Amino acid sequence: MNGKSLLSSFINTTIERWPMVLDSILSHLSISLMSLAIAVLIGVPLGIFITRHRKFASVIIKIASVFQTIPSVALLGFMIPFFGIGRKPAVIALTIYALLPILQNTYTG
């Protein structure tokens, strides 16, 4: 199979299954936006708090850094017994991974 027919096959399959593709895109966007909103709602106030109370900054940033080092597959695997498979563990995992950058940037200013 050459490159042109492979691309043509991909385009045809995407067109045939467009409703499913669009549904998946919207689902991923909603999970990502929900996670980002939750992370901002947690990270910005926490960042402001550690800016005003510097003695807590090191500990809180280190805790957020530890969560950042956990592989995503391991984190999702750990959450399955508690939350099952679906949107909930995905939102929680993405929120956890979004916290450190938001927290650090809020703290930095």
Domain assignment present for residue 74? The answer is yes
Domain assignment present for residue 95? The answer is yes
What pLDDT, in 10s, does the model give residues 84-99? Answer: 999 999 999 999 999 9
pLDDT at 48 over 70: yes
Please state the domain count of the chain: 1
Arithmetic mean of pLDDT, 46-67: 95
Q: In whole angstroms, give the CA distance from residue 32 to residue 72.
A: 15
Domain assignment present for residue 5? The answer is no
CB-based contact 100:67 (threshold 8 Å): yes
Q: How many residues does the chain have?
A: 109
What's the domain range around 86? Answer: 27-108
pLDDT at 105 over 70: yes
Q: In whole angstroms, give the CA distance from residue 37 to residue 3.
A: 41
Domain assignment present for residue 82? The answer is yes
Domain assignment present for residue 19? The answer is no
pLDDT > 90: percent of the chain: 90
Arithmetic mean of pLDDT, 52-64: 94
